[in-house]
Amino acid sequence: MTTNILELIQYITWLATERDEVLSPIRLVKFLYLIDIKKKKKNEGVTLTGWPWKFVHYGPFCGESLDAIKKAVDGGYIEALTYESQFDDEEHFLYKHRSDIEPSIGASLPFYITGPLQAAVKKWAGDTYDLLDHVYFETEPMIDVQPGDLLDFSRAQEPETVKQISMKRLSKKKLAQGKQLIAKIRENQESWLRLLQERPIYDDSYFEALNFLNGDNLDFPVQGRAKIEDSVTEFD
């Protein structure tokens, strides 16, 4: 199935609008990048957009993403809100969805895309800085790259599935023998615990003190300090 990129942009924007958030171009572009990573992990080397992402503006970026966003606005898929910046005189935009009805593409996308996308929008739709930290430092194509480098999506791999180990089935006789061994181990552990409780552990200092009390070792060192005070009795 060929995904309509404009409808995909509409769906991302709708997810944000449902959370009372408007998306800046940076956030919208980064969400498209994250979708490409998820698509690649499920399809050997194939991203959803097919765009050539590079390490440029705030991490992963491509001019095709801004062109697609502009087409989505011109085609009525999303609404652009203008605002003034205190840093320059250029025109800046934020994007929202016009309707509260979910775009139809949401039902046709596979869950391995919609699930992570919904989680990402929930987490970062209103948090540019943490979103940039994530794509910059925690996505595989951005590892060990230099500004201007083309990003290699083959680095994005699904974690290997842990193979299940089949346990050998034991006969009833073996199970019975195993239960007897476990019971014997528990019995031995309980015996040792009772022995330790009934026979306190005595160290060398204990026996030296015992010999001294019995008069067997008069050289037993005793240390301390005594203070003797003379009392004066006055007589009338």
Q: Are residues 54 and 93 located together in one domain of the fold? A: yes
Residue 207 lies in a domain: yes
Residue 227 lies in a domain: no
Stated as kind and residue range, the H or E segment containing 94 is: strand 92-96
Tell me which residue of 53, 9, 55 sits closest to 33, measured CA to CA.
53
Using only C-alpha atoms, the chain has a radius of gyration, in whole angstroms, of: 37
Residue 119 lies in a domain: yes
pLDDT (average), residues 100-129: 95
Examine the pLDDT at 117 and tell me if it is beyond 90.
yes
Domain count, the chain: 2
CA 97 to chain centre: 30
- CA separation, residue 151 to residues 53, 91, 155 (Å): 6, 29, 9
Tell me which residue of 41, 43, 44, 10 sits closest to 28, measured CA to CA.
10
Q: What is the pLDDT of residue 225?
A: 58
Query: Which pTM was predicted?
Result: 0.68
Q: Are 51 and 62 in contact (CB under 8 A)?
A: yes
Q: Are residues 127 and 179 located together in one domain of the fold? A: no
Residue 234 lies in a domain: no
Q: CA-to-CA distance for 74 and 72, rounded, in angstroms? A: 6
Angle, alpha carbons 207-213-217 (nearest 5°): 70
In the numeric block, which tokens belong to residue 25? 């171009």
Q: What is the pLDDT of residue 86?
A: 79
Q: Are residues 52 and 123 located together in one domain of the fold? A: yes
Examine the pLDDT at 145 and tell me if it is beyond 60.
yes
167 pLDDT tier (thresholds 50, 70, 90): low
Range of the domain at 182: 172-213
Cβ neighbours of 8 (radius 10 Å): 24
90 pLDDT tier (thresholds 50, 70, 90): confident
- CA separation, residue 230 to residues 115, 133, 227, 233, 234 (Å): 90, 80, 10, 10, 13
